[in-house]
A and B are shown apart, each in its own frame.
Chain A
Amino acid sequence: MALSGIQIYKLLPQTNCKECGFPTCLAFAMKLAAKQVELSDCPYVSEESKTQLAESAAPPIRLISLKSNGYEVKVGNEVVLFRHEKTFYNKPGVFIKFSDDIPAEEIKARVEKADSFVVNYVGIDLTIDGFAMECLSGDADKFAAAVKAVRAASKRPLILLSQDPAAIESGLQSLDGEAPMIYGANADNWEKMAELAKSHKAVLGVTTTFLEEATDLTEQIKGKGVEDIVLGLSSKNLSTNLIQQTQIRKLALKKNYKPLGYPTITFPTSAAEAAQAITKYAGFLVLDSFTEDFVYPLLVLRQNIYTDPQKPIQVQPGIYEINNPKPEDPVLVTTNFSITYFSVANEVEGSGMPAWLLVTDAEGMSVLTAWAAGKFDAERIAKAVKSFDVADKVSRKRIVLPGAVAVLSGELEAELPDWEIRVGPREAVDIPKFMKLVLA
């Protein structure tokens, strides 16, 4: 169980030497209890205290990181069952699976296509995280060649899928020195798989049908000195998967149950399974094909569920083009609170009329709140017009203020003397009508 600040304090040197950057050991202990600092910041903790603290401080769900060529996927280390209790921290990794029974050239082409996929959502570039290669050929050499083909086409992290240690070994060898995930260890092959994971510093996925088996396996594997483990339960349906994922998360968090304190890996084959995996605790999602129309909504869902509920979600401030605007089209202004942005953008979009949408940095507040807080005023709007070079984009300088802040129009005229200032409607729903009647 996690120790309190006072309990931690008792294990510290209590000399108040300040080297950790805090005035007292107690202050440092409090920060440590809140998991805001690392124990290693104090150079004087005794070995004995270290072991004691490490055990209690180890996150209930182990943090697993898959790295390659500057890419990193971090999962685990979650602290709540429901996102409103705090937030979900590490987004599950989305991997695309291919198998070694298709020609190397085709593997490369398909991997390249998925690798280059990028879609912009509220100013964030969404991409997939990596690739999985499955050994279906039963031929270790073929598998190694297929793994090489993937690596030639993408630098992202990899998962090697086979329950045959010989195939996994040759796959690992073809990746010289990399530490991918290998999947999976079962009741029969686990010793060999654990050895491979250890010698290649790979993350080891276990594959079982029931939770009890998973518990036994992770204990055995840990006994061999492998700690970077991922849990794979081959659930036959949404119901079993939901129960298993929830039990794993619950036992790890509420009971600090170590044998299941690892992230999970799932293999969704439908939109429903994928949505369940995102909302209910999967650490990795391995998809058996790549299509944009599936991956795009999935990555957006992941983004949504993993936003911090305590922080307003913000849109990147900037000038957004809606319905392919031309220089003569109007500029509408709003704030960067995501819901505000969405409602405005959606209505402008729906009007079918082209416009420029200027999103100002109002620290994620809605129009009225930001105005009241002094984060959305004439000065800030004028600054946004300048910093996003809006004047260079339009020939007719027309700017539309949200109706709720009509009072700003005088000041804005002073700030932007060569602009025509218009006052739009108070509510986003009235934008299409306004655009048709007033701006057309």
Chain B
Amino acid sequence: MDPTTGALGYGIEYGYSVMERLRLAALQGDSMTQLPMIVTPGFEAWKTKEAKVGEGVPAAWGDWLSRAINWEIMTAVSLLESGADILVLRHPESVKQVKAAINELMVVPERF
């Protein structure tokens, strides 16, 4: 199922909490919510002005490309933390870093 989430800065917190609630409900046995969740942080993040626009924006926004990629990664990882199962990304660098994050998250530590 697609909980339809906004990008970072554009209502991500709604989707974030909807997903946490869906996952909690699923774990408590609500079969309606026991489906993997697919999210599209790549599409959402690259729709934002922060990712799309490189000129005429405040200097405090920093380097355009890195900002855009960070926007996508932080959107994606936040959704990952709230229960996303499939993430559709856009930039190769984001794919690389989000994949690495997923691999790290899947390791079960022996001691913590």
Contacts and interface: CB of A to CB of B under 8 A. Distances in A.
Nearest to B64: A293
Contacts of A82: 17, 20-21, 24
Interface in B56-112: 56, 58-64, 66-67, 69-71, 73-74, 77-78, 81-82, 97-98, 100-101, 104-109, 111-112
A238 B59 CA distance: 32
B37 interface: no
A419 interface: no
A305 B60 contact: no
B58 A301 contact: no
Interface string A340-365: 00100110011000000000000000
Contact of A84 (B21, B63, B69): B21
Contacts of A120: 58
A297 B71 contact: yes
Interface in B1-40: 6, 8-14, 16-17, 20-21, 24
Contacts, number: 140
Contacts of B56: 323-324
A121 interface: yes
Interface string B40-66: 000000011110110010111111101
Among A240, A274, A307, the most chain B Cβ lie within 10 Å of the Cβ of A240
B98 A272 contact: yes
A349 B62 contact: no
A237 B104 contact: yes
B49 A349 contact: yes
Interface in A104-120: 117-120
B66 A293 contact: yes
Contacts of A276: 77, 81, 101
Contact of A211 (B14, B66, B104, B112): B112
**B contact face: mostly helix, strand, loop, or mixed:** helix
Contact of A271 (B17, B50, B70): B70
Contact of B49 (A242, A338, A346): A346
A186 interface: no
Interface size class of A (residues with CB under 8 A): 35 or more
A323 B53 CA distance: 11
A264 interface: no
A271 B107 contact: no
B109 to A, nearest CB: 5
Contact of A294 (B52, B60, B66): B66
A274 B73 CA distance: 10
B66 A238 contact: no
A189 interface: no
A84 B63 CA distance: 34
A200 interface: no
A345 B48 CA distance: 10
Contacts of B16: 83, 279, 304-305
Contacts of B106: 239
A385 B109 CA distance: 59
A239 B74 contact: no
A271 B73 contact: yes
A271 B66 CA distance: 11
Among A117, A243, A275, A342, the most chain B Cβ lie within 10 Å of the Cβ of A275
B81 A210 contact: no
Nearest to A338: B11
Nearest to A122: B9
B112 A305 contact: no
A15 B20 CA distance: 47
A210 B112 contact: yes
Contacts of A118: 60
25 contacts: A82-B17, A83-B13, A84-B17, A210-B112, A237-B107, A237-B109, A238-B104, A239-B106, A239-B109, A271-B97, A272-B100, A279-B16, A279-B77, A293-B61, A293-B67, A294-B62, A294-B66, A294-B70, A295-B62, A296-B50, A297-B74, A298-B70, A305-B13, A313-B13, A346-B10
Interface of A: 82-84, 117-121, 210-211, 237-240, 242-244, 247, 270-272, 274-276, 278-280, 291-298, 300-301, 304-305, 307, 309, 313, 323-324, 338-339, 342, 345-346, 349-350
Given A271-B73, A279-B16, A304-B16, 9 more contacts: A83-B13, A239-B108, A271-B77, A275-B81, A276-B81, A292-B62, A293-B64, A294-B66, A350-B52
